[in-house]
Chain A
Amino acid sequence: MDSPAPPEKVVVLLKATGDAPILKQSKFKVLKSESFVFISEFLRKNLKIDSVFLYLNSSFSPSLDELIGTLHEAYNVDGKLIVNYSTTPAWG
């Protein structure tokens, strides 16, 4: 079986919610093997904020050790993993 290797990266779309600062670029390709914590660290560094709250599809927060590849497979919308970020809790 020599089926082509699946792409190693998936598209992640970062959307600001509430008062969160907006990123210059919102679409990224992220390695499937990265954990979700990668996104939160990326945002904290780029937005220079201490804490960030993350949600998928404007609803739930996955655990930070979840793999991007797994999340993308389960929750992508039109091929994109939509991550909403906020500086205060949203969608309690």
Chain B
Amino acid sequence: MEGTKPTTSQAADVQREHWRGAVALKLELHPDEVTTVPPPAPLFVLAPRLGYLPQVAQQALEHFGSVLPPGENEIWFEYQGVPLKWHIPTGSLFDLLSEGDGQYPWCLTVHFRSYPRNILQQVTGDSMQASYFNSLKESAYVLTGSSNSVMSLTKKSQQELWQNVLQSQDVEFFANMQKMDLAKPTRSRIPIRVYHREKVFDSFTGWKSIDYLSKSFDIDAEKDELTARHLFRDCLKSHSEEELGKVKLVVAGVELSLDVNVGDMYSHLKNADNWLYLVLKPATS
């Protein structure tokens, strides 16, 4: 990516791969919710990177449903004791929390009871869709100065776009964005979300030790060469050059140099909600 601009067909390949990406999950039911001996086998499932964890809820319920204690089913996921915020796209969650190149598939504990309401947004009915469109509205505001383009979508258009996201149909998705007039930035600001895990997992203490920043960046104005390094220098004030040497940048599952142009990353690796998700984590992890 450095120096040379990708050709159109390379760009299309990157987009397709980005949209096809998935994280292999190994789901085990939490022992407190197992009512049978022996406990149920784990479930192996692919979760789309650009989607959200509850997308696998149906499959998980079919697999584990018969052993659950009586009660209402509310699915949530946990990794190393940390409840996973499902409104963060699955790929970015994995990039942020998984430990280096060690464990794959990603082993998560799945729960259907005792939903941690104080930590996680609730998943009810179409809340995944609502969360997606809310995110899309926010990015539209950054890109055009108004969310009207998204708010004026009909129910039918919303459904269509959401189905494209759920089914990872990139070609249809971008055609719909074009058709629905959602693809036209009117200013040179881009929406970026940065998640920064400072600690290796041994000492990780949950969401409190993760810095999160959602920001709009001006990629124009003499900053033709705005790189990730500039961006982090700007937004992570505590970061000296030396400290920046200790982190690695992961975007869409790929480790990238801090000198990659931010505008290029945005064009090719943004998510379906038009946000670019950047993950910073310890270089050793």
A-side residues, CB < 8 A to B, are: 57, 59-63, 65-66, 70, 73-75, 91-92
Taking a contact as CB atoms under 8 Å apart, the answer to whether B215 and A60 are in contact is no
Q: How far is the CA of A70 from the CA of B216 in the complex (A)?
A: 10
Contact of B215 among A63, A65, A70, A92 (CB under 8 A): A70
- Whether the pair B212, A65 counts as a contact (CB closer than 8 A) is yes
Please list the residues of chain B having a beta carbon within 8 angstroms of any beta carbon in chain A: 87, 130, 133-135, 137-138, 141-142, 146-148, 151, 207, 212-216
Say whether, besides A70-B213, A74-B216, A92-B130, A62 and B138 are in contact (CB < 8 Å). yes
B137 cross-chain contacts in A, Cβ below 8 A: 59-60
- The distance in angstroms between the C-alpha atoms of A59 and B138, with both chains bound, is 8
Describe A's contact surface by its main secondary structure. loop
Q: A62-B214, A74-B215 are in contact. List 9 more A-B contacts (CB 8 A).
A: A59-B138, A65-B207, A65-B212, A66-B212, A66-B214, A70-B214, A70-B215, A74-B214, A92-B130
The residue among B142, B148, B214 with the most chain A CB atoms within 10 A of its own CB is B214
Given A65-B212, A70-B215, A74-B216, are A60 and B130 also a contact pair (CB < 8 Å)?
A: no
B interface secondary structure, majority = helix
Q: Is the CB of A60 within 8 A of B138?
A: yes
**Chain A residues whose C-beta falls within 8 Å of the C-beta of B138 in the assembled complex:** 59-60, 62
A13 to B87, CA, bound (A): 27
Known: A70-B213, A70-B214. A60 touches B147 (CB 8 A): yes
Most buried by A among B133, B138, B146, B213: B138
Alpha-carbon distance A63/B216, docked complex (angstroms): 15
For A91, give the chain B residue with the smallest CB separation.
B151
